[in-house]
Copies of this chain bind each other. A is one copy, B any other.
């Protein structure tokens, strides 16, 4: 089986490396060409364009930053669509808009190329350790063919519906995070301002209805006002933007997600885009005058 992987960023590079480690024949392409080197050193071939990487591939992976990037790499002048053969599969691991996903799938279908949208969660640590959660939209029989490949990169692979459903699921995930992070921050700052033993207080509430992954794993960042990665604020801002754009198309009002997206905009603008998204506590602390 011949594979191609386009997009070797923080997530893509370790995920592609896991495919190589599993023994697959892999051709890589990255716009910034020197990012290909470490993969080539591990046994990958490299190509001079997305199209060239896709020639004769059975499965092509894309893992890029945003909707426009994926559209360009798939449908652009040197896009993979001009290299892929009928019956091959494009698996987009990026987080992009469900609308763009459906458009790309329609264009690929005209050439009998299949597509799965398969955004991931679990961060760079999950990418390195192959413990990602992968939310898949597409046809069940196509996922069945691709499953062994996805299992090399992730731990939990769930088919959530037809093409685009993976992206909707990712948007739901990012929407849920918005209010959860914000309110854990509000609660912690309330405790800090009151001068109580915040760790004892959080210990008391973490066994009940307030329990969350965020409270268990990110409260300490907020208490210490220090936000190591984790998940980058700049990427979360982008993802929330996709969720809100999708919500607008569907006529769904999401005031808390919209509010938090505004805070992310402020954080990125002020140079905190590379911090973990628990840095929303920065703003709650600032507003309470707690340094």
What is A's interface to B at a CB cutoff of 8 Å?
98, 121-122, 133, 135, 156, 158-161, 164-165, 168-169, 171-173, 175-184, 186-191, 193-194, 196-197, 200-205, 207-215, 217, 231, 243, 246-247, 250-257, 259, 284, 287-289
Contacts and interface: CB of A to CB of B under 8 A. Distances in A.
A202 to B, nearest CB: 7
Nearest to A212: B212
A202 B158 CA distance: 10
Given A182-B256, A190-B250, A209-B213, 20 more contacts: A121-B210, A133-B207, A135-B201, A158-B204, A160-B200, A161-B197, A161-B200, A161-B201, A172-B191, A172-B202, A173-B208, A176-B215, A179-B186, A186-B256, A190-B246, A194-B246, A209-B217, A210-B213, A252-B287, A252-B288
A214 to B, nearest CB: 7
Copies of this protein chain in the complex: 2
Contact of A160 (B173, B201, B284): B201
Nearest to A191: B172
27 contacts: A121-B210, A122-B208, A135-B201, A135-B205, A160-B201, A161-B200, A165-B196, A165-B197, A168-B201, A172-B191, A173-B205, A173-B208, A179-B182, A179-B184, A190-B246, A190-B247, A190-B250, A190-B252, A193-B247, A193-B250, A193-B251, A194-B250, A211-B213, A252-B287, A253-B284, A255-B259, A256-B256
A184 B172 CA distance: 8
Contacts of A284: 252-254
A179 B182 CA distance: 7
Contacts of A181: 179
B250 A204 contact: no
Contact of A208 (B183, B213, B289): B213
Nearest to A210: B176
Q: Which 10 A-B pairs have the closest CB atoms?
A: A179-B183, A179-B179, A212-B212, A158-B204, A172-B187, A193-B250, A175-B187, A211-B213, A169-B201, A176-B210
